[in-house]
Structure 1
């Protein structure tokens, strides 16, 4: 059979099968012809490059993810969150996040109270972080009233996240306090940072406070007053403000009421029908038991003059500048008949203390005589 294309001259051309069939062995002493290398197509090359890129990308992503995770779980993160809330005035959030315990007496640990303070924390920078395994310490510099105030925070490791990153919990930082001492009666009304408080029996008030400067003022009503002051708490760590000592002085109305209380005390002593009035600075003695005394009375010849000074441990000091004079008389009857007994005139000393005020006025306590704890209003 002949190829139908023989007349064209292509009949002797080997078929494709003949060309791709078994090759003859090379001539002896001749090296085999090198097998041509197969070139990668563009698609194959792109596939390899893409595969390598994926591996590199996964590695880079892992490193970046680990770095981000480490940063987000750093021990300083809870400290930053706490200080961010504080600088923004979110006291309630800051106190809750830090686990700071407070009760109804902590009137300065509120958003409203802190908003009225000056010299608050307006910024911060983290200076150092130390990780000791289960605990960590963070040192920060607080920007307060134009100064850098160092404060140290402690954190506890409470576990891990994804079994890799530590979880830190901020220990409640030690808070400072505003310490106020009123040289005046116990139970005095004071405002600290706009918040009303009452002093204790020893005339003091101590309030837990965040870093800042707080205005301190005394509310003595119309009876007494004191110069306003301020108290500053710097940073954290049991910082106690320089104690604010408020020395009270009587107003004109207070001094007038004080002298009226002294007069009332004198009047009460003069009104007594006893030879030795209880709680008074004068008395008569030498009564004869053989006689009966009736119609006993005191007569005030002259009233004592007094001055009211500053506060001492027992009250505002009352000093007698001029003694008063009083006389005692009584009708007597006995073996010798009837008559009148007289004692005096004798000094009336009105020295003592104004211990406080009520709505009705001052309370006076005598420092002389046989009843120094008695009062007169």
Structure 2
């Protein structure tokens, strides 16, 4: 046999001799941990490296577990969603805090007829005399605000101006509202407050007695001493009527208020005319005045249009009296500054008589006939009738005295 070199650790004859030498591992592999030790998974044992394999000693990349990968993806998605939500929230917050939102709230309530809410939106506090600033009054108005369109918004510091076109009676009516910034919400969004807009007004003049009762949109009030009344009003058209009871009336009218601002409605002028009952009462008042003058025992009755004169200072007069010979005829005309004018169509006549005693003896003194002028004014009415005031002083236009 040819001798062959034996491998280290083998008997010379190539057969085990009962003693096995341990083959020492390559020291380079001692530093490489197992996959199972570092990943917690049970990978298959490492296969023996093929001779000449360059990657045999390269460390394996650590693979991410599925839970870790899902967590990373979910976290990234949450960050993106939070960013989107933040942008959306800021956009929504900015929109809801825009100054025109306050104007829209005011006009929405007004268009719906919610006057109390609209006035609260605008910071308007009606007084007792503001009889038109109620839900009930506005409900009876026609030509109200039925819609609107925001035309533009301008900001200057803490002030914003909102231009609006109101829809009223089918036409566009411009209006401007001013707002002031009064703080912020969450320190980010400006908080705006609507400055109370200047309201329009119903301007009414009644050519009739002072403090005449009138009804505007079904609400009762009175004119002042000059016969005028001004009522704050929201945009709309209001029915106006004079309430003169049974004595006088006036043709019904309407007052139209367009938009907002210092300009009121075109002044509504109403002339009071006497009813049949009013004319009869006026004539009765003139007759009562004449009768009062005739009932006087004075030679110059106070407030009357006639008088007697020519007394002899040496005589003593008694049983003085006036007698109405003919009652004057009068005509009641329209209202003037002082009242319904009463003109005398034909004079009446009166006679004055008195008994006298004097140096010449006793007798009866007579004056007349004297014209009785009943011109003047009917200034008003009460429950008992009309009030007449003479326009003629004592004897200023009399003849034949």
Which interval holds the TM-score relative to the shorter structure? 0.7 to 0.9
Question: Equivalent residue for 1:320?
Answer: 344
Question: Equivalent residue for 1:112?
Answer: 136
Say whether residues 1:150 and 2:158 are aligned partners: no
Question: Equivalent residue for 1:264?
Answer: 288
| CA root-mean-square deviation | 2.8
Say whether residues 1:208 and 2:228 are aligned partners: no
Question: Equivalent residue for 1:334?
Answer: 358
Q: How far apart are 1:343 and its partner, in Å?
A: 1.2
Q: Map of 1:283-298 to 2, 5 A cutoff?
A: 283-298=307-322
SS in 2 for 1:168: strand
Question: Does the CA-based 8 Å contact 1:279-1:371 persist in structure 2?
Answer: no
Given the superposition, is the C-alpha separation of residues 306 and 17 from structure 1 closer, same or farther in structure 2, using an over 3 Å criterion?
farther
Q: How far apart are 1:346 and its partner, in Å?
A: 1.5
CA deviations over 1:210-229 (Å, ceiling 9, x no partner) = 11111100111111010000
Q: Map of 1:112-151 to 2, 5 A cutoff?
A: 112-151=136-175
Given the superposition, is the C-alpha separation of residues 115 and 16 from structure 1 closer, same or farther in structure 2, using an over 3 Å criterion?
farther
Q: How far apart are 1:151 and its partner, in Å?
A: 1.0
Question: Equivalent residue for 2:15?
Answer: none
CA deviations over 1:174-213 (Å, ceiling 9, x no partner) = 1111111110001211000100001111111111111111
CA distance in structure 2 between the aligned counterparts of 1:20 and 1:79, rounded to whole angstroms? 81
SS in 2 for 1:83: helix
Question: Equivalent residue for 2:399?
Answer: none
Question: Does the CA-based 8 Å contact 2:307-2:395 persist in structure 1?
Answer: no
SS in 2 for 1:127: strand
Say whether residues 1:62 and 2:70 are aligned partners: no
Q: Map of 1:351-370 to 2, 5 A cutoff?
A: 351-370=375-394
Question: Equivalent residue for 1:193?
Answer: 217
Given the superposition, is the C-alpha separation of residues 371 and 33 from structure 1 closer, same or farther in structure 2, using an over 3 Å criterion?
farther
Question: Equivalent residue for 1:7?
Answer: none
Q: How far apart are 1:19 and its partner, in Å?
A: 10
Q: How far apart are 1:89 and its partner, in Å?
A: 1.2
CA distance in structure 2 between the aligned counterparts of 1:71 and 1:316, rounded to whole angstroms? 63
Question: Does the CA-based 8 Å contact 2:306-2:395 persist in structure 1?
Answer: no
Question: Equivalent residue for 1:73?
Answer: 97
Q: Map of 1:14-29 to 2, 5 A cutoff?
A: none
Question: Does the CA-based 8 Å contact 1:278-1:371 persist in structure 2?
Answer: no
Q: How far apart are 1:38 and its partner, in Å?
A: 6.8
Stretches of structure 2 lacking an aligned partner (at least 5 in a row): 1-8, 11-22, 33-48, 397-401
Say whether residues 1:223 and 2:263 are aligned partners: no
SS in 2 for 1:277: coil
Task: Tell me the TM-score normalized by structure 2.
Answer: 0.83
CA distance in structure 2 between the aligned counterparts of 1:245 and 1:88, rounded to whole angstroms? 31
CA distance in structure 2 between the aligned counterparts of 1:15 and 1:188, rounded to whole angstroms? 128
CA distance in structure 2 between the aligned counterparts of 1:328 and 1:106, rounded to whole angstroms? 57
Pick one of 125, 131, 134 that aligns with 1:101: 125
Q: How far apart are 1:20 and its partner, in Å?
A: 5.4
Q: How far apart are 1:97 and its partner, in Å?
A: 2.2
Given the superposition, is the C-alpha separation of residues 281 and 15 from structure 1 closer, same or farther in structure 2, using an over 3 Å criterion?
farther
SS in 2 for 1:151: strand
Pairs aligned (count) = 358
Q: How far apart are 1:39 and its partner, in Å?
A: 6.9
Q: How far apart are 1:239 and its partner, in Å?
A: 2.9
CA distance in structure 1 between the aligned counterparts of 2:262 and 2:24, rounded to whole angstroms? 103
